[in-house]
Homo-oligomer: A and B are copies of this chain.
Amino acid sequence: MSGGVEWALHCCVVLTASSRPVPAARLAELHDVSGSYLAKQLQALARAGLIHSVQGKSGGYALTRAPESISLLDVVHAVDGPGPAFVCTEIRQRGPLASPPEACTRACPIARAMSSAEKAWRAALAAVTIADLARDVAADSGPEALPGVSAWLTGDSAG
């Protein structure tokens, strides 16, 4: 799985705290990661409609929907692509003993089992929202953690 997923998730969680747009460079400095590369992940989130960008002097990124309506699955699909991890190449239809196409009305059993497992994975991701993550962060690091991040994001970097 792409490592950018972690960055994107953290960005979504901190964007929960601030209602004003936050520049990508500020998010990168907060997480101590490459700003140029984080921009790519944020662009992917913007293409998926999860966040929207505002240009100009006081522009940046902000969440499009409410945090309760953004699931982890949405973020993973936006960054890593919606395609399944396991792709069936239909090797049962190849080779000297290839199954005739008429016998392949259903997906092959291997593809079915792998797809079922990925379905469970996606269901688990879809059941958790960005709001849930923000709540857990508050429970772990204290209720003042996210407001503090928000103040730093909108304030000066020297503070």
In the complex, which residues of chain B have a beta carbon less than 8 angstroms from the beta carbon of A157? 96
Q: Which of A13, A33, A94, A125: most chain B Cβ within 10 A?
A: A125
A31 contacts B by Cβ under 8 Å: yes
A117 contacts B by Cβ under 8 Å: yes
Contact of A96 among B29, B108, B117 (CB under 8 A): B29
Interface residues of A, CB < 8 Å — how many? 55
CB distance from A31 to the nearest CB of B (A): 5
A68 contacts B by Cβ under 8 Å: no
Proximity string of chain A (103-120) to chain B, C-beta cutoff 8 Å, 1 when within and 0 when not: 100101110111011111
**Cβ–Cβ contact A113 & B128, under 8 A:** yes
Q: Complex Cα distance A128/B103, Å?
A: 23
